[in-house]
Copies of this chain bind each other. A is one copy, B any other.
Amino acid sequence: MYKVKVYVTLRESILDPQGKAITGGLHKLGFGEVQDVRIGKYIEMTLDGCACNSTDGKIAPTACKNVEERVKQMCAKLLANEVMEDFRYEIEEII
């Protein structure tokens, strides 16, 4: 079993209107020290390690060797829009 944390953030060059709105809100609440806010997504996933080696997604009996590769594919295919977003991830083995 693996616990994966994925962080998806807007690329530097992309405007972040949601972050701008939050900056304004924080200023109005008296937090004038806030200079910039950028909003991203934080995704926590639990993966069954044994399934990672199968290409059809079914449980394979061998231990997982390529979790990182699979997580990268998940990010590229569904979790992040690589045109305007960057992603990074942390993989941690759990019992």
Contacts from A to B (Cβ < 8 Å): 1, 7-9, 19, 22, 25-27, 29-52, 54-59, 64, 70, 73-74, 77-79
Contact = CB atoms under 8 A, between A and B. Distances in A.
A78 B9 contact: no
Count of identical protomers in the assembly: 2
Name the residue among A7, A34, A38, A46 with the largest chain B CB count within 10 angstroms: A34
Given A32-B56, A33-B52, A36-B46, 10 more contacts: A29-B74, A30-B56, A31-B73, A33-B70, A35-B46, A35-B47, A36-B45, A37-B43, A37-B44, A42-B42
B44 A9 contact: yes
A77 B30 CA distance: 11
Name the residue among A29, A44, A59 with the largest chain B CB count within 10 angstroms: A44
